[in-house]
Amino acid sequence: MAKKDVDEPSEDVVAKAKKDSEQRRGPFGRMSLFIRQVINELKKVVTPTKRELIRFTLIVLVFVVIMMGIVSALDFGFSALVNFLFGDPDLVV
């Protein structure tokens, strides 16, 4: 697994949020605060290693193939049931 640092805030997050919310900000001040917060969150992102990326991709692809099989089987079964109930019973798919 990739190294993951524990989130250790440098300041008391609650106190800082209260201080920020108490200040009246104009539209540009709110946008700059939002952009600063986004940049701070993006700094916490951990990039997966090549091995993890390949493993996660294969897991997703296998899951998608399994789900396609389940949905296809249900679709085939329900269409056969509907054709049997409402269609010509001699023409079962």
Together in a domain, 62 and 23: no
Percent of the chain with pLDDT over 70: 74
Together in a domain, 18 and 42: yes
pLDDT of residue 11: 59
Together in a domain, 34 and 61: no
Mean local confidence (pLDDT), 8-36: 75
**Which two tokens mark 76?**
């085939």
* pLDDT band at residue 51 under the 50/70/90 scheme: very high
Number of C-beta neighbours around residue 90 at 10 A: 5
pLDDT of residue 87: 81
Q: In this predicted model, what pLDDT tens digit does every residue of 67-77 receive, in sequence order?
A: 999 999 999 99
Task: Residue 9: give the domain boundaries.
Answer: 1-47
Mean local confidence (pLDDT), 2-16: 60
Within 8 A by CB and 6+ apart from 88, the residues are none
